[in-house]
């Protein structure tokens, strides 16, 4: 399908800073939040924000201001393309840097979208999981075929990853710790590894062949350097930090293959040796005092960092230009829970921020 790209917000292409990093795990329900959800854009490094929520439809223009953003994915070949997985309203996509959003037809137009993966060599091939099933599109979202179904009621596919190097096998990671892989575009699957732990994220490095990471809900980060055949745990180093094993987010550096960021209950940690050792990034807030679900680093300058810290129903936007030595605080544009941060890799000062409406406490 010939994609029709609209004029971009900035007039140039956008891209993600941290690859495969857009996953959150809520520690608890946050009741009483207010304001819109959906996506916001800042063109001045967080000084001011504007909603980017337009959804043109045959029935008229709608918006995503009531849509909870669970994950946000990039196309590795087309930096203008974004794929938004929501927690209730299905899959959304934008081919114009977020100026407009659209939805595919069929099963993926509603419900929880847990994972999206775009083939590194063919941008029209996508894999999407709604938890119980994995779907593949070979024609840029025009049609879908079901390639995997999970029959167990207590297990769901939480993450999908594609090996960025030939033979481009597909990985499907399940909540019970099972990791499946496929070498034939999802036609057949086999169990690659069983963690027997609560798995919440799975990432394949785009910079180093056979380097994989698996994040557990309460057991830290695991690493494989042989394509998933064997794994090593970074648990002993992470548990030196109080709450360091409790997952919030995980991110790869955009250009340094050995550098990763681990966001936990404790705070933000950085490793420059694939998780062998960790260094704390000092924050304005004491360790463990805020929930951090949104974090990003400028891909051109990793001393420029951003995060949003949430305490109760209040959130603040923090930014640093010196690797975390000094931070300044700004307001966020909504009282909902901030879940996604993305730094534009080309346009100076441009940042995306996504919000989710937490489930109500019963």
Note the pLDDT tens digit of each residue in 313-345: 899 999 999 999 999 999 999 999 999 999 887
The sign of the dihedral angle between the CA atoms of 16, 17, 21, 23 is: negative
Grade residue 300 by pLDDT with cuts at 50, 70 and 90.
Answer: confident
Parent domain of 127: 38-356
Verify cis geometry, omega within 30 degrees of 0, for the bond prior to 61. Answer: no
Structure tokens given for 114: 């847990």
The sign of the dihedral angle between the CA atoms of 113, 118, 122, 123 is: positive
In a domain, 1, yes or no: no
Mean pLDDT of the region 25-54: 83
Rounded distance between C-alpha atoms, residue 325 and residue 275, angstroms: 22
Token pair 């919030």 in the structure block, residue: 248
Residue bearing the bigger pLDDT, 330 or 359: 330
In a domain, 175, yes or no: yes
In whole angstroms, what separates CA 255 from the centre of its chain?
A: 17
Nearest to 96, CA basis, from 3, 5, 1? 5
Residue bearing the bigger pLDDT, 197 or 4: 197
Residues 6+ apart with CB under 8 A from 314: 335
In a domain, 16, yes or no: no
In whole angstroms, what separates CA 312 from the centre of its chain?
A: 23
Token pair 């975390």 in the structure block, residue: 324
In a domain, 22, yes or no: no
Rounded distance between C-alpha atoms, residue 149 and residue 169, angstroms: 18
Rounded distance between C-alpha atoms, residue 61 and residue 77, angstroms: 29
Helix runs in 202-328, H state only = 235-238
Order the strands of the 82-86 sheet from edge to edge. Answer: 69-74, 82-86, 91-94
Structure tokens given for 59: 């029935």
In a domain, 2, yes or no: no
In a domain, 114, yes or no: yes
Q: Are strands 291-298 and 301-311 parallel, antiparallel or unpaired?
A: antiparallel
pLDDT in tens, 64-123: 999 999 999 988 888 889 999 999 999 999 999 899 999 999 999 999 999 999 999 999
pLDDT in tens, 251-270: 999 999 999 999 999 999 99
Q: How many domains does the chain have?
A: 1
CATH of the domain at 115: 2.130.10.10
Residue bearing the bigger pLDDT, 205 or 6: 205
Tell me what pLDDT residue 13 has. 30
Tell me what pLDDT residue 31 has. 57
Phi-psi region of 265 (alpha: psi -120 to 50; beta: other; left: phi over 0): alpha
Rounded distance between C-alpha atoms, residue 179 and residue 157, angstroms: 9
In a domain, 11, yes or no: no
Distances (CA, A) of 248 to 267, 291, 345: 9, 8, 24
Residues 6+ apart with CB under 8 A from 208: 257, 258
Grade residue 362 by pLDDT with cuts at 50, 70 and 90.
Answer: low
pTM for the structure as a whole: 0.89
In a domain, 8, yes or no: no
* Whether residue 204 has pLDDT greater than 80: yes
* Whether residue 139 has pLDDT greater than 90: yes
The helices-and-strands tally (H runs, E runs) of the chain is: 1, 29
Helix runs in 164-246, H state only = 235-238
Grade residue 5 by pLDDT with cuts at 50, 70 and 90.
Answer: very low
Tell me what pLDDT residue 58 has. 86
């Amino acid at each position: 399908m010939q994609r029709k790209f609209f004029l971009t917000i900035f007039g140039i292409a956008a891209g993600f800073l941290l690859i495969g990093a857009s996953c959150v795990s809520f520690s608890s329900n946050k009741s009483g939040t207010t304001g819109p959800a959906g996506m916001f854009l800042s063109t001045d490094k967080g000084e001011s924000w504007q909603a980017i929520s337009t959804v043109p439809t045959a029935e008229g223009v709608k918006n995503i201001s009531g849509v909870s953003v669970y994950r946000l994915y990039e196309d590795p070949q087309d930096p203008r393309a974004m794929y938004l997985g929501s927690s209730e309203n299905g899959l959304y996509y934008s081919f114009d840097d977020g100026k407009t959003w659209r939805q595919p037809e069929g099963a993926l137009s509603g419900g929880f979208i847990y994972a999206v993966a775009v083939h590194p060599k063919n941008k029209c091939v996508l894999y999407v999981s709604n938890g119980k099933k994995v779907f593949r599109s070979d024609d840029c979202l025009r049609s879908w075929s079901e390639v995997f179904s999970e029959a167990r009621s207590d297990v769901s596919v939480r993450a999908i990853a594609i090996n960025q190097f030939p033979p481009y096998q597909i990985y499907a990671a399940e909540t019970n710790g099972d990791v499946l892989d496929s070498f034939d575009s999802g036609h057949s699957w086999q169990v690659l590894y069983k963690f027997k732990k609560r798995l919440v994220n799975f990432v394949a490095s785009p910079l180093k062949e056979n380097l994989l990471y698996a994040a557990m809900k309460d057991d830290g980060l695991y690493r494989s350097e042989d394509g998933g055949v064997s794994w090593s745990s970074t648990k002993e180093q992470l548990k030196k930090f109080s709450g360091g094993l409790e997952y919030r987010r995980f991110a790869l550096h955009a250009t340094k293959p050995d550098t990763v960021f681990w966001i936990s209950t404790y705070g933000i940690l950085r490793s420059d040796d694939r998780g062998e050792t960790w260094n704390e990034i000092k924050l304005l807030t004491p360790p463990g005092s805020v929930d951090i679900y949104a974090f990003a680093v400028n891909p051109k300058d990793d001393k420029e960092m951003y995060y949003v810290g949430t305490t109760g129903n209040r959130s603040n936007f923090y930014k640093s230009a010196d690797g975390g030595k000094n931070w300044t605080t700004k307001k966020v544009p909504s009282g909902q829970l901030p879940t996604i941060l993305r730094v534009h890799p080309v346009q100076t000062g441009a940042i995306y921020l996504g919000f989710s409406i937490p489930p109500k406490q019963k």
